Structure 1
Amino acid sequence: MDTSRLLRTSGTVIAAAGLLLSGCTSGGPGEPRAAASSPPESGTASAQPSPDAAALRPYYAQKLTWRDCGVPGFQCSTMKAPLDYANPGSGQDVEIAVSRRTATGPGKRLGSLVVNPGGPGGSGVGYLQAYAGIGYPAAVRARYDMVSFDPRGVERSSPVECLNGPAMDKYTQVDQTPDDAAERAELVTAFKEFAAACQTNSGRVLPHVSTADAARDMDLLRALLGDEKLNYVGASYGTLLGATYADLFPDRVGRLVLDGAMDPARPSLELNRDQTEGFNTAFTAFAKDCAKQPDCPLGKGDPDAVGARLKDFFRKLDAQPVSSGDPDRPLGEALATTGVIAALYDEAAWPQLREALSSAMNGDGSGLLSLADSYYEREADGKYANLMSANAAVNCLDQAPAFSGPEAVDTALPSFEKASPVFGPGLAWAALNCGYWPVKPTGKARELHAKGAAPIVVVGTTRDPATPYKWAQALAGQLDSGTLLTYDGDGHTAYGRGSDCIDGAINRYLLDGKAPEDGKKC
C-alpha cells in the first residue's frame, strides 16, 4: 500500500544492494565558517512568496555547534528554521538535524557537498552515516566535507507522526486492489484514518513541510556551513528538492547533480501513471532475465507470460494469504506487491526476488515480507521510521491529489492497467491517499527554469523503475543550464552503481567543475 511516488535511492530500500549515492559538507572539525550570504531579498524566489529578509536574519546568524553523533567519524548539529516562511518572525520554529563528515584530504578543500537520498521522507542523516559518508568516491570525500540533513517533517527534524507500529501493520495489509464495494470502503476508510492520525499527531507541522520549505531550509544550511554556493547531489525525489532550490536561488547554485530526476511540470495523476509504467519497464527487464535463470519461479516465456503468472499469484494471495512467520502479518497481495516493487529498484536484488517468490509460491512468505519491510522501513521490533508519514505529508502538500475519490480512480484504471497489467490497479488505488488529506496543497505542477544558474547535471537511467527516463529528459530541457547525462541500464539512479563512465563524468564535475557534454550517454 502507498507505494506510489515513494522516490528514493535503491540503497535506502534494500541495504544489501549497497548503493552509495552521497553528499558532503563544509568547514573543519571546529566552529563553522561565518555565514557566506544573507537571507534572500524580496523577489529572488521564482514563483514563490518571498519571506521578509530582515525577519530571517537571526536564522542566518545562527552558529552550528557540532557534537559527536555516536557514529565514528561523524558530527551532528541542529539548526532552527521558521515553521512558516511567510511569517518568520512569529517565534514558531522547527529544528533541523544536520550531520557531517569532514574532508579526509589530501588536496584543497572544496567546501560542502550536501546530499538528499529521496523519498520524500528519507533520512539524510541516516543515509549519510550508513552509506554516503563512507562509500562515496575517495577523491570526492578527500576534498569535500560530506553533509546531509533530515528535511523538516522527517525522522529527527520535527517529524510528522501518524500511525503507531501495530496500526501501520494493519494499514500496510489493506487490500489495494478492491474487488467489491466493501473492499473499496475499507480502503477509503484506511486512507481517512491515516490522514486523521497525521492531523491529530502533527497538525502543527503538516502545512509547512513542502519541498519549497525544505529548499529554503537548505539555503539556510548552506549559509551556516559557510559556503557561497550550494554544492549538492540529490537522488530521486532529491532532484525535485535540488531543482526547486535552483529555481528559488539561481545565483547560489554551485555544482548540482540531480540523479534519477523528477519532472516538476507533471501533475500528480501523470506522475503516478508514469511511475506505474516505469515499474512495468523494470519488471519486463527482470522477467527477461528471470526466464533465463534455472531457478525462475515464474517459468519461461516472454515478459507478458511471466507477468501473467505473477499477477495470477497475486490473485491467489488476495484470496488466501500464506504464512510469513509472523502470525499477525500473513503475506497477502498488498505486502507481496510491495516486496516485489522494492526489489525492482536495483537489479542486484533480482536473485533475492527470485528466491523470495519461489519460497512464497511454496507457502513461505517471509522473504517477500522482508523486502516489504525494507521498503516501509519497519524494524524487527515492529517500529516504523516515519518515512511513510512524511512521504504522504510532502506529496499531498506539493500538488493537488491525483484523485478526489473512488469514482475518479475507476475512470483512470484502464490507463493504469495499460501502463502495467501487473501493478497498474494497485498503484492507481494507492494514488487515492492524498484525496483525503487534511491540509490543502500549497504547490502545483510547474516548470522550473533556474534562470542564471551555473550548469546543472541531470542524470537519467533508461530503465529506471521509479523515475522514468523521460522525466530526466524533461527536467534537463526545462532548466536553463541543464545538461543531460544518460545511463543505458537498469535500476533506480545511476551514480555509484558500477558505471565508470557515469561516475567519471560526475566526479570530474564535482571536483573540477567541468559538466559533461549535454546528451552524453554511458
Structure 2
Amino acid sequence: MRRLHRWVASGTAAALLLSGCTLLPGPSADKAPDTGVVTADPDAIGDVPAGLEPFYSQEVEWEPCEDDFACARVEVPLDYSDPGRATIEIAAIRADATKGEPQGTILVNPGGPGGSGYNIVRDALQRVASDRVRADYDILGFDPRGVNRSTAVECRTDKEQDAAREEFIPPDTPDEEALELLRAEAREYADLCAERTGELLGFVDTDSAARDMDILRALVGDPKLNYLGFSYGTLLGAAYAGLFPERSGRLVFDGALNPALSNEQVTLAQAAAFEKALRAYVADCQAREDCPLPGDVDAGVAAVQDLFTAVQEEPKPAEDGRLVTIGSFVQGFILPLYDDSSWPTLTDAVTTALEGDYTDMMYLADLSFEREADGTYSTNATDAFLSVNCLDYPMVTDPEQLRRDEAELVAASPTFGELLAYGGLTCEPWKYGPVREPAPASAPGADPLLVIGTTGDPATPYEWSLALADQLESAVHVTWEGEGHTAYGRSNDCILDIVDDYFLEGAVPKDGVRC
C-alpha cells in the first residue's frame, strides 16, 4: 500500500480528472464593452423567494477590465436558508456581443469543481464560443463561490502546496502506519482550510452555486438562463435546471457527469475511462516513428506502468530541484490525455522521463496545478475542488471498504486504479457537510436541453452523458465519436453547428445524432 501518493492522487489528481475542457488561449473580445451601473429589468427577475429581493434587484457596476472585457462583482447570500445573515461576492467577466444588441447572455462554467469561468472567458473566448455565437450573445464567465476571484476558499499557501506535492510514503511502509499517515495529513489539511476559510467552507456546495447563477441570470436581464457547462459544469447546470426548470432556457451540457453516482462510482468509472484513453494514446503513439513505447499496445502500457513504478519507489528531481513524486508525475501524464491534439506533447515528456529527465513531466504537472514559473499558483482550484466535493459527496472512510474499493479500481484500471484509491479519507476530518446525496437529475417543464457525450472521453465517460440525458425529461443527446474530454470548441463542424444553431435559433437536433 502506497498511501500518501494515493491521497495526493485522490485529491489533486482527481481535481484534474473532473476538471473541464483544456483550452489554449484565444483572442480577447473584439470591441470595447458596455460599462456602468446596471439594475435588473423587473420583467426578467421573476418570482423571488422572500428575503432574496435585495440580491435580485441590486445595482451592478460593470467596469472595463482585461483588455476589452467588462468585469463586476455581484453580492449573493452566504447561506440561502438565512439570506440576511452574511453575503459573499461572485466575480464575473463579460464579453459583449460583436453585432450590437445581444440576443441574450450565455453563462459559462469550465468544470472542476474549482475551475475559473472568469479565466476561461478571458483566456480562451474563441474556443468557448464560436464567432457566430459571439456575434449575437454576450458571454459571461464567473468564478463560482469559493473559487479564485470570488469570495474564495483558502487552505494552503503556495509554498505549502509545493511542499505537499513533494510528500510521499515509501512503498514498504506497513499498511496501518501508512493509513494513519494519510489520516494525519488529511486532518492537517482540513484544519488549515477551516482556520483560513471560516464558515464559507460550509456553503460552497453545488446547489448554492446554482442559486447564485439565477441571481446572475436576473442581473443580466434574461428571463431564462442560457448556459454552456463543461464537465463538472454539467452537474452545476443540471442542479440549476432542477431548482429552476421554468427559468431554464438554452442549456448545453458537454462532457456530462451522472448526478446519481456516488463518489466511489465516479472514481471507478473514471479509472476505467482513463485506462481506455491510455490504450488509445499508446496505439496512436506506436503508429509514429518517434514513439518510445515499443511492441504492441499491451507492451506499451506495461512500459508506462514500469515508469510509474520507478517514480513510485524513488521520486525523481526535476531540473529546478523540486521532487517529482508519483502524484505530480501522474498529474503531468494525465493532462495531455484530455485532448488528443496534445498526445505528441505527452510522447515528448515520456521520452525524456525514460531517459531520466523528469522536467517535462513536472512542467505538465505544474500546468494542471496552475502553478506559474515564479512558484505562485494562479488559482485555488485544488482547494476549491476538494471543498466542493466534500460537501457534494458522502465519502466512504471505512478501511475495509476502502480496500475492497481499491481492488475494484485495480481490476478496472491496472495503471491508474491503485493511484485513485482512498480518496474518501480526504473528507473524513472535514468540518462541514456533506449536504448533498447523489440522485438522478430531474427538471420537468424545462425547455429542451442539449447533452453532448464524447465516446473516448477519459474524465467524464460517455455513458454518463447518456444517463444524464435519460434523467432530464426534455434533454436530447448528441454523440461525438472522438477522443479527449468534451467536444464543443475542439471537435468538428457537426458539433459546432448543432450547438450554434441551438443557441442562435433554438433548433433542437434529433435525439441520438452522432457526429
TM-score by length of 1: 0.91
Is 1:292 equivalent to 2:302 in the alignment? no
Measured in 2, the distance between the counterparts of 1:252 and 1:10 equals: 26
Q: How far off its partner does 1:30 sit?
A: 4.6
Query: Equivalent residue for 1:119?
Result: 112
Change (3 A) 1:349 1:236: same
Is 1:105 equivalent to 2:96 in the alignment? no
**Among candidates 226, 241, 246, match of residue 246 of structure 1:** 241
Query: Equivalent residue for 1:493?
Result: 486
Deviations 1:411-437 (A, max 9, x none): 111110111100000111345322332
**Among candidates 375, 385, 404, match of residue 382 of structure 1:** 375
**Among candidates 34, 39, 58, match of residue 41 of structure 2:** 34
Q: Percent identity?
A: 41
Structure 2 residue identity aligned to 1:502: I
Question: What secondary structure, in the 3-state scheme, does the structure 2 residue paired with 1:344 have?
Answer: helix
**Among candidates 14, 18, 22, match of residue 4 of structure 1:** 14
Is 1:395 equivalent to 2:404 in the alignment? no
Structure 2 residue identity aligned to 1:346: D
Q: How far off its partner does 1:29 sit?
A: 4.1
Measured in 2, the distance between the counterparts of 1:128 and 1:177 equals: 42
Change (3 A) 1:35 1:281: farther
Q: How far off its partner does 1:28 sit?
A: 4.6
Query: Equivalent residue for 1:216?
Result: 211
Structure 2 residue identity aligned to 1:197: L
**Among candidates 274, 281, 304, match of residue 276 of structure 2:** 281
Structure 2 residue identity aligned to 1:271: V
Checking the alignment, whether the CA contact within 8 Å between 1:323 and 1:363 is kept in structure 2 is no
**Among candidates 52, 64, 71, match of residue 68 of structure 1:** 64
Measured in 1, the distance between the counterparts of 2:219 and 2:399 equals: 47
Is 1:446 equivalent to 2:456 in the alignment? no
Measured in 2, the distance between the counterparts of 1:119 and 1:99 equals: 18
Deviations 1:41-81 (A, max 9, x none): 5xxxxxxxxxxx22100111102111111x11101001110
Question: What secondary structure, in the 3-state scheme, does the structure 2 residue paired with 1:447 have?
Answer: coil
Checking the alignment, whether the CA contact within 8 Å between 2:29 and 2:96 is kept in structure 1 is no
Measured in 2, the distance between the counterparts of 1:177 and 1:250 equals: 51
Checking the alignment, whether the CA contact within 8 Å between 1:176 and 1:429 is kept in structure 2 is no
Deviations 1:433-479 (A, max 9, x none): 22332212011101111000000000000110100001000000000
Checking the alignment, whether the CA contact within 8 Å between 1:68 and 1:74 is kept in structure 2 is yes
Measured in 2, the distance between the counterparts of 1:315 and 1:187 equals: 20
Deviations 1:214-266 (A, max 9, x none): 00000000001111010000000000011100010000011000000000011
Q: How far off its partner does 1:305 sit?
A: 2.2
Change (3 A) 1:73 1:284: same
Change (3 A) 1:177 1:289: farther
Measured in 2, the distance between the counterparts of 1:307 and 1:134 equals: 32
Structure 1, unmatched stretches of 5+, are 42-52
Measured in 1, the distance between the counterparts of 2:445 and 2:158 equals: 47
Is 1:349 equivalent to 2:359 in the alignment? no
Structure 1 residue identity aligned to 2:160: A
Measured in 2, the distance between the counterparts of 1:180 and 1:296 equals: 35
Change (3 A) 1:128 1:435: same
Checking the alignment, whether the CA contact within 8 Å between 2:26 and 2:127 is kept in structure 1 is no
Question: What secondary structure, in the 3-state scheme, does the structure 2 residue paired with 1:371 have?
Answer: helix
Measured in 2, the distance between the counterparts of 1:54 and 1:374 equals: 44
Matches within 5 A, 1:164-203: 164-175=157-168, 179-181=172-174, 182-203=177-198
Matches within 5 A, 1:10-159: 10-11=21-22, 15=24, 28-32=34-38, 33-38=40-45, 40=47, 53-69=49-65, 71-90=66-85, 92-105=86-99, 109-132=102-125, 136-159=129-152
Measured in 2, the distance between the counterparts of 1:274 and 1:454 equals: 30
**Among candidates 311, 330, 336, match of residue 329 of structure 2:** 336
Deviations 1:256-284 (A, max 9, x none): 00000000011111011111111111111
Deviations 1:194-222 (A, max 9, x none): 11111111122011000000000000000
Number of equivalences: 498
Question: What secondary structure, in the 3-state scheme, does the structure 1 residue paired with 2:59 have?
Answer: coil
Q: How far off its partner does 1:323 sit?
A: 2.6
CA-atom RMSD in angstroms: 2.1
Measured in 2, the distance between the counterparts of 1:140 and 1:55 equals: 36
Structure 2 residue identity aligned to 1:214: A
Measured in 2, the distance between the counterparts of 1:319 and 1:480 equals: 50
Measured in 2, the distance between the counterparts of 1:335 and 1:83 equals: 34
Query: Equivalent residue for 1:233?
Result: 228
Q: How far off its partner does 1:348 sit?
A: 1.2
Is 1:428 equivalent to 2:421 in the alignment? yes
Checking the alignment, whether the CA contact within 8 Å between 2:21 and 2:111 is kept in structure 1 is no
Deviations 1:71-98 (A, max 9, x none): 11101001110100000122x0001111
TM-score by length of 2: 0.92
Checking the alignment, whether the CA contact within 8 Å between 1:322 and 1:360 is kept in structure 2 is no
Measured in 2, the distance between the counterparts of 1:443 and 1:259 equals: 22
**Among candidates 346, 354, 368, match of residue 361 of structure 1:** 354
Checking the alignment, whether the CA contact within 8 Å between 2:121 and 2:128 is kept in structure 1 is no
Change (3 A) 1:135 1:455: closer
Measured in 2, the distance between the counterparts of 1:301 and 1:177 equals: 32
Q: How far off its partner does 1:35 sit?
A: 4.4
Structure 2, unmatched stretches of 5+, are 1-7
